[in-house]
Chain A
């Protein structure tokens, strides 16, 4: 079975540019998560969707970040405008029914903002 699929795997962009990260969760999973990982802050939950509806977006750093889930098989995380401090690995993850079930992580999108 295909796991969580993320794209792009690596992105280098200039400060001020828009960045869009994409995610396809595991088929049949109705919960989707966006995490950010940095050396300084570890793994941080940015936003959690359940049945395509955002449930908890309290981890979204600021208005420059937005996430959407237009259907059960696709989600985007957008940063506009990007800043160097946004450089991190962004993981998308999904689970069958919420965070109390096993969470399956994608391979991550490595973002560098210069």
Chain B
């Protein structure tokens, strides 16, 4: 079945440093979504990418969807303490029928002030 893997599992940075998390799928994706979950909170939708090679920006966050639509990345420039949380990618597979939006394991980001 479809698998979505994220690396790294954990990332510790100093405030002001950049951060990147990578998402890789075992199958071609129709789209990919990114979510952020604060400690003790619930996943909150950040963005959806649909097109091959798509790049979207939200302030300090840059999201990319690979040309082959099998990988994606989230890059945060100049991290702040408010960026702390776990970032999940979730992929909808082209070959997948039904409803199976597969979540990656998440990258847990901690930011030292």
Interface size of B in residues (CB-CB distance below 8 Å): 19
Interface size of A in residues (CB-CB distance below 8 Å): 19
Given A42-B106, A43-B88, A102-B48, do A91 and B99 touch, yes or no (CB 8 Å)? no
Contacting residues, chain A, for B92 (C-beta < 8 A): 99-100
CA distance A26 to B1 in the complex (A): 31
CA distance A102 to B88 in the complex (A): 14
> In the bound complex, do residue B45 and residue A55 qualify as a contact, i.e. CB atoms below 8 Å apart?
no
- Nearest B-chain residue to A100, judged by Cβ: B92
Seen from chain A, the residues whose Cβ lies within 8 Å of a Cβ on chain B are 33, 42-43, 45, 48, 50, 55-56, 91, 98-100, 102-108
- 28 A-B pairs, CB-CB below 8 angstroms? A33-B99, A42-B105, A42-B106, A43-B43, A43-B88, A43-B103, A43-B106, A45-B99, A45-B101, A48-B99, A50-B99, A55-B98, A56-B100, A91-B42, A99-B99, A99-B101, A100-B30, A100-B92, A100-B101, A102-B33, A102-B45, A103-B33, A103-B45, A105-B42, A105-B44, A107-B41, A107-B42, A108-B42
